[in-house]
Amino acid sequence: MHKVIYDTDPGVDDAMALLFLHRHPEIDLIGITTIFGNASIETTTRNALFLKREWNIAAPVAKGASVTIDPKRHERPWPAMVHGENGLGDMPVPDVIDLPLDPRPAHHFIIETVRANPGEVTLVAVGRMTNLALALKEDPEIAGLVKDVVIMGGNFYVPGNVSPVAEANIHGDPEAADIVMTAPWKVVVIGLDVTAITTMSRSYLGEMAARGDKAVKQLDELSQSYIDFYKHAVEDGMMVHDSCASVYVVAPELFKTITGAVRVVCGGIADGQTVIKQDGRRFPPGDWDGLPSQIVATGIESEKVIGLIRETLLRV
Residue 76 φ then ψ, to 5°:
-90, 165
Q: Name the residue type at position 222.
A: L
Residue 74: beta bridge partners?
none
Alpha carbons 29 and 4: distance in angstroms, whole number: 5
For residue 316, the model assigns a pLDDT of 80
Tell me the CA end-to-end span of the chain in Å, nearest whole number. Answer: 18
Can you give the pTM of this predicted structure? 0.97
Quick check: is 241 catalytic? Answer: yes
Q: Of all helices (H) and strands (E), which one includes residue 109?
A: helix 106-116
Quick check: is 148 catalytic? Answer: no
Catalytic option among 9, 102, 193, 220: 9
> What is the pLDDT tens value at each position of the chain, 316 positions in all?
999 999 999 989 999 999 999 999 999 999 999 999 999 999 999 999 999 999 999 999 999 999 999 988 888 888 888 888 888 988 989 999 999 999 999 999 999 999 999 999 999 999 999 999 999 999 999 999 999 999 999 999 999 999 999 999 999 999 999 999 999 999 999 999 999 999 999 999 999 999 999 999 999 999 999 999 988 888 889 999 999 999 999 999 999 999 999 999 999 999 999 999 999 999 999 999 999 999 999 999 999 999 999 999 999 8
Catalytic option among 2, 83, 107, 241: 241
For residue 195, the model assigns a pLDDT of 98
